[in-house]
Amino acid sequence: MLVDARSTTLFSSTAYARCDVTRLFSTAPREIPVRSMMWFHRRADFVVAWKVHDHRAGYDVVFLKLKTDSERPTWFAMHVDESAGMKGSRTVVGIANLVQLVVRDGNGCFYRQDSTEEAIRWLAAASIDPIDLAELREGWKSFELFDPNPRCPRWRRLAELPDADAWSGQQIWIDLLRRAIWVDSPHVPAETQGVACQDHPGGGGTSVAAKFILSSDWMVTTCHDTWSRLSRDTRVDELQHKGPTVREVLYEGIVEFLVDELIECALPLSTFGERWLPPTHWRWKELPRRGRRKGGALVEDLLAEVHARWLMTPRPELGDQRPRDLLAQHRDFVDFDLWNRERQWELTGRPPVPLPPHLSRFNGPFFGTHEIVIYFNMVRDLLRHAAAALMVGGPAIRSGLIANLHRHREVWLATPSEPESPLETPKYLINLERSRTPWAASEKSIAYDCECPLCQMMSQSKGITFGHFDTSGLDYEWPFSPMDDKADWEFANDDEESWSNAFHPAPGREGAAVGDPGPVPGTPESLDLRPLPPPSADMLGIWPMPVVMLHLACELRSLFRELEGSHDAEPMVRELRDGFTQLHDCVLDPGWVEVNGIIARMFAALSESERVAGEIQPVFTIATALDVLHNRLTASAEDQLTADEQSEDSVDSLPATIQETDSEAPCDDEPREQAAVPSLPQGNEGPSPEGSSPPTRSSLPPR
């Protein structure tokens, strides 16, 4: 909303686009030469300007009319910083694109006008779940893609909440107390996720897009009635103030719970080696299937049961919520947000602005995959440490054991899992995720000194490498799953019936005893370790080239493991490793002229493997992949030659006068002479570039 300085009458931004602005102000227009406003030198010959004080926003607005050759003049509004003058302002927006922004928090209401792009950026700032305007401004800084020290714009405090019905034009209202947003603009999407764009400071008309997503607590609406009903609601969600309590319970309150549960199990009296016999009064609550293991449950099964009880027991300190629900509630949101920050880092070439530790989002109940995996391993380590102490000292050491576990927890969180990366401790990785900072893996932690093809591919990749934890190390049962919805977990694990069938084998199974539940899922004896059939040549032919190279690297690594320890195989392994490195370079920077010689040498090394190790499966799979790579790279080269020949024929068909003119002024697009493509020798058709006849697929041992 813009303000007339004479009568303080409110006019919508669309009204300014339709009316003659000279009739709205008493001051006469003042013509300003273009040389004093250099940012308009490509858009207009000169500018006509007025300055009006916006009483609602609290700053001056300069109206600029650009005189161009167009019949319709172009109007702009620019906010003026009195301390720095007009040069201190960077925001130049069209009058018709001004958006009125209103933010309400526990300290009052605030107002400002901004462009459509900046309005979307303020919506993106809400993705950090701010509780007041100060935190919203921190979120705005986190979406500054290029300036490492951004200066956040000012907001005007309002005496009371305005009446939205009295306003017209584009409006966005953000209620931080009730996590609600009302959008009344055709240019701003009313969705919980979007893209905030920012122009590249280098110019060139390029821009970088940063994705954002709001948590499930937010509601975005375009309905004014819904917003009015929310604005009259005096209830405030208290979950946003519960963050520190949640982490104190999960990391500190767990210790006493674990010790008491283990004391109840009577470990010194019921443990026999790796087996554990439950006392008569003890019952399996969360993992009953583990108690039906043949020969008795293991001590690890007991620790898993105690772990599951902690996760599935509602805690009054958490508002009668289960720790498991809080851990998994926002995992997808945190992971998606972190992935967007990684993409932002790749596009801009610099790390994103981290969230300060004092924000409610940093201390709130937002857990991603990294912290869930670390928390799982921390709890298991505490359980093993406590069980070992109780086996020796018994229940009498309860008070001393609780204090010891608190110290052990802090030591564990401060100890790096990889000695090569002393800074990457569990606590450091957790704080990275909480501050929405991607984990940029160091070169030492990636171990690029390995000579296997997989590590070589990683070392040759361009750009930064991000580290991630997966959930494959977590136990398979529902209490330990990072999924928020149990239906999704059942679908991902082939539903509950398939798990039940694994514990209740069909009658007549050879070697099955009465009441034997069979192997426990997730244990080595329950896994189907039969290898999958290798992909066919037709399948490899439709895979993307990088995927085919990854498949070839995996098969080469399997072959190297088969030949490990054989001195006769060292020359062959060296030849295959060097050949893969050269082939990888050719795929990255297509040098199809050299591909035939590389593949021929790799085929010759493969034929040597038959003499050294006999018939092994990786040899045939590697040969299939090399055949596919040779055919695809050769076909690509032939297509390029055909295109060049057609280009030459089109030049020959031009009139003589045009050909003479082109010959006098050669251009950069003139076709270059292409070298002949050598063909891969087949059988005994001729010598190879190295003087030997490499084997083809037909000369290799049959599959």
Q: Do 368 and 317 share a structural domain? A: yes
Is position 22 within any domain? yes
100 pairs with which residues across the strands? 113, 171
Is position 360 within any domain? yes
Is position 468 within any domain? no
Residue 365 confidence (pLDDT): 85
Q: Do 106 and 70 share a structural domain? A: no
Q: Do 395 and 250 share a structural domain? A: yes
What's the gap between Cα 471 and its chain centre?
A: 15
Q: What is the mean pLDDT of residues 250-256?
A: 92
Out of 48-62, 293-307, 533-547, which region has the weakest mean confidence (pLDDT)? 48-62
Domain edge (last residue) among 95, 128, 153: 95
DSSP secondary structure letter of residue 616 = -
Residue 164 confidence (pLDDT): 64
Q: What is the mean pLDDT of residues 384-401?
A: 85
271 pairs with which residues across the strands? 276
Is position 469 within any domain? no
Residue type, 85: G
Q: Which residue range is the domain that position 648 belongs to?
A: 537-652+673-699
Is position 52 within any domain? yes
Domain count within the chain:
5
Q: Do 630 and 598 share a structural domain? A: yes
Domain edge (last residue) among 95, 128, 146: 95
Residue 480 confidence (pLDDT): 92
Place of tokens 């969230």: 355
Residue 692 confidence (pLDDT): 40
Whether the pLDDT of residue 35 is over 90: the answer is no
Residue 381 confidence (pLDDT): 94
Whether the pLDDT of residue 526 is over 80: the answer is no
Q: Do 88 and 109 share a structural domain? A: no
Q: Do 112 and 205 share a structural domain? A: yes
User: 402 with 256: CB under 8 angstroms?
Assistant: yes
Residue 203 confidence (pLDDT): 56
Whether the pLDDT of residue 85 is over 60: the answer is no
Residue 614 confidence (pLDDT): 64
Q: What is the mean pLDDT of residues 378-398?
A: 87
Q: Do 91 and 102 share a structural domain? A: no
Distance CA 364, CA 327 (A): 11
Q: Do 566 and 543 share a structural domain? A: yes
DSSP secondary structure letter of residue 252 = I
Mean of all residue pLDDT scores within the chain: 70
Residue 306 confidence (pLDDT): 93
Place of tokens 């308009």: 40
Selection from 468, 432, 246, 429 nearest residue 355 by Cα: 432
pTM of full prediction above 0.75: no
Is position 384 within any domain? yes
Whether the pLDDT of residue 277 is over 50: the answer is yes
Task: Classify burial at 262, counting beta carbons within 10 Å of its beta carbon; exposed 0-12, middle 13-18, buried 19 or more.
Answer: buried
The winner for highest mean pLDDT among 26-40, 46-60, 182-196, 227-241 is: 182-196
Q: Do 327 and 397 share a structural domain? A: yes
Q: Do 306 and 379 share a structural domain? A: yes
Between 460 and 123, residue with greater pLDDT = 123
Q: Residue 684's pLDDT band (boundaries 50, 70, 90)? A: very low
Is position 496 within any domain? yes
Residue 45 confidence (pLDDT): 40
Residue type, 350: R
Residue 461 confidence (pLDDT): 61
The winner for highest mean pLDDT among 340-349, 378-387, 657-666, 684-693 is: 378-387
User: How is residue 326 written in tokens?
Assistant: 């809080």
User: Per residue in 655-683, pLDDT tens?
Assistant: 444 344 343 434 444 444 433 333 333 43
Is position 89 within any domain? yes
Q: Do 275 and 206 share a structural domain? A: no
User: Per residue in 474-513, pLDDT tens?
Assistant: 888 999 999 888 888 888 776 444 544 544 444 444 444 4
CA atoms within 13 A on the CB side of 480: 23
Q: What is the mean pLDDT of residues 56-79?
A: 46
Q: Do 128 and 90 share a structural domain? A: no
